[in-house]
């Protein structure tokens, strides 16, 4: 294994997940947040060879801020014979 300080490189290979998947909050994700949650933003939060993580920062009805975390990954399609 090659060690590096570059957060994009893990196990000496670049992370295959495009940053575009963690630059917005999908409507399906918003629908799963607690009722009354108001999204304030999304920030990159960690990565591995298989995934990139994101922190969704929200404001709740009582004014408190709560963060939710998700991981995004790329799935390659394969031709499978049945």
Give pLDDT, residue 80: 47
- 56 vs 53: CA distance, rounded Å: 10
- For 34-61, the pLDDT digits (tens) are 999 999 999 988 777 778 889 999 999 9
d(CA 16, CA 50): 7
Confidence at residue 67, expressed as pLDDT on a 0 to 100 scale: 97
Asked whether the beta carbons of 53 and 73 are under 8 A apart, the reply is no
pLDDT at 74 over 70: yes
Residue 6: band (very low, low, confident or very high) from pLDDT cuts 50, 70, 90: low
Rounded to whole angstroms, the Cα distance separating 62 from 43 reads 23
User: Which of 54, 45, 50 has its CA nearest to residue 15?
Assistant: 50
Q: How big is the CA angle at 29 (ends 24 and 31), to the nearest 5 degrees?
A: 125
């Amino acid at each position: 294994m090659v060690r590096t300080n570059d957060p994009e490189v893990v196990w000496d290979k670049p992370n295959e997940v495009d940053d575009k998947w963690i630059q917005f909050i999908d409507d399906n994700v918003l629908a799963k947040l607690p009722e009354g949650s108001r999204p304030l933003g999304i920030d990159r939060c960690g990565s591995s060879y298989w995934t990139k993580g994101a922190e969704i920062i929200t404001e709740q009805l009582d004014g408190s801020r709560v963060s939710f975390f998700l991981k995004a990954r790329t799935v390659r399609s394969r031709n499978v014979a049945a």
